[in-house]
Amino acid sequence: MSIIAPLQRANQGSHFRAYGLRGVAALIDPFLGVDHAWMSAPTFPPHPHAGFSAVSYLFLDSETGINNRDSLGANNLIRPGGLHWTTAGSGIVHEEVPAEAGKTVHSLQIFVNLARERQGIAPFALTLEPQDVPVVQLPGAKVRVPVGSFGDARSSLNPPTEVTMLDVSLEEGAELAVPVAAGHCAFVMPIFGTAMADGQNFERNDLKLPVFPARDTPHSITLQAPHGNAKVMLFAGPPLHATAI
C-alpha cells in the first residue's frame, strides 16, 4: 500500500517554477526533498549546503544545460541528460545558472541525506555525463538509470548514500514492473502525462504522489500509461533514520 504525499507549487517571477516535494523527509528517507523545476534565468545566488547531498539531474528535453560553480573550484557544464552530485558534507557553497540566456532548464534538484557518521565529511562532487547514463529499452518503455540499478543495468556513479533514481518513459498502454529491494522506501514523481502506480492515477498537476514505505520483503511497483505517453521518476533507498544537520 502507498501513502499519498503532497506536492507544492513554487514560482519566482516568470523565470522559475517548480513542483516541490518538501516537508515529508521522514516519509521519503533517505531523501530529504525533490524539486521538479523549470528555470530560464539565474534565480538563486551562491548559497551554502552542509550535512547532505544536493543532486542536479537534467532531463533530455532541457533546452540548455546548467553552469555549475562551487567553493571547491568546480566550474562545469551539466548537460541535458546528465547528473551532478554535490556531497556537501562539512560545507560547500555553490551556484547553478542556465548555460544559455533565454533558454529553459528542465531539471530535478534532489536532496539526499547522509548517514550521521558522514555528515561532516569533506565535501566532494561526482558527475555523470549524458552518454554514460545506462539505458534499458523494453516494449513500450525506456528506463534511464542515472543512479543505482535496474535489471542488468547499473550506473557507474558511486554516491555516498545508497539510492536508486530511474527516469522512466512509457508509451500509451505500456506497463512496467519496477522491483524494490527489501528494506527500501520508494516513491514515484509524475513528470508529464498521466501515469498509474499500482493502479492509482497520478499527474503532476494533481499535486500529489505515491510513497511506498520500506517492507521486510522485496516487492515491485507496477507503472502504466493508460492515457497517452507518460514520464515518471522513481526514487528508492534504505532509510537512514538520521536527522539532517
List Cα–Cα distances, 143 to 31, 152, 159, in angstroms: 21, 12, 20
Q: Rounded distance, CA 221 to CA 74, Å?
A: 38
Entry pTM: 0.96
54 neighbors 185 (Cβ within 8 angstroms)? no
How far out from the chain centre does Cα 64 lie?
18
pLDDT recorded at residue 245: 60
The three three-digit cell numbers of residue 98, written as one number: 542556465
Helices (H) and strands (E) in the chain, counts: 1, 24
DSSP 3-state percent helix, strand, coil across the chain (nearest 5)? 5, 55, 40
Q: What is the topology classification, in CATH, of domain 3-132? A: Jelly Rolls (2.60.120)
Q: Where are the beta strands (DSSP E) in 7-72?
A: 8-12, 16-21, 31-39, 47-49, 52-58, 66-70
Residue 234 DSSP SS3: strand
User: What strands lie across the sheet with 208-212, from one edge to the other?
Assistant: 3-6, 208-212, 185-192, 230-237, 164-170, 141-147, 135-138
193 neighbors 200 (Cβ within 8 angstroms)? no
244 neighbors 113 (Cβ within 8 angstroms)? yes
Q: Rounded distance, CA 39 to CA 206, Å?
A: 21
Q: What is the topology classification, in CATH, of domain 135-237? A: Jelly Rolls (2.60.120)
Give 131-182 pLDDT, tens digit per residue.
Answer: 999 999 999 999 999 999 999 999 999 999 999 999 999 999 999 999 999 9
pLDDT recorded at residue 1: 79
**Domain definitions of the chain by residue range:** 3-132, 135-237
Average of per-residue pLDDT across 234-242: 95
Give 42-94 pLDDT, tens digit per residue.
Answer: 898 899 999 999 999 999 999 999 999 999 988 999 999 999 999 999 999 99
pLDDT recorded at residue 13: 87
Enumerate residues 6+ apart whose C-beta is below 8 A from 98.
39, 40, 41, 42, 64, 65, 66, 67, 104, 105
Q: Rounded distance, CA 54 to CA 49, Å?
A: 8
Q: Rounded distance, CA 124 to CA 144, Å?
A: 24
Mean pLDDT of the chain: 96
93 neighbors 144 (Cβ within 8 angstroms)? no
How far out from the chain centre does Cα 45 lie?
22
3-132 shares its CATH topology with 135-237: yes
Q: Is pLDDT of 244 > 80?
A: no
Q: Is pLDDT of 236 > 90?
A: yes
User: Sign (positive/negative) of CA torsion 71, 73, 76, 82?
Assistant: negative
pLDDT recorded at residue 175: 98
pLDDT category, 198, cuts 50, 70, 90? very high
Q: Is pLDDT of 212 > 80?
A: yes
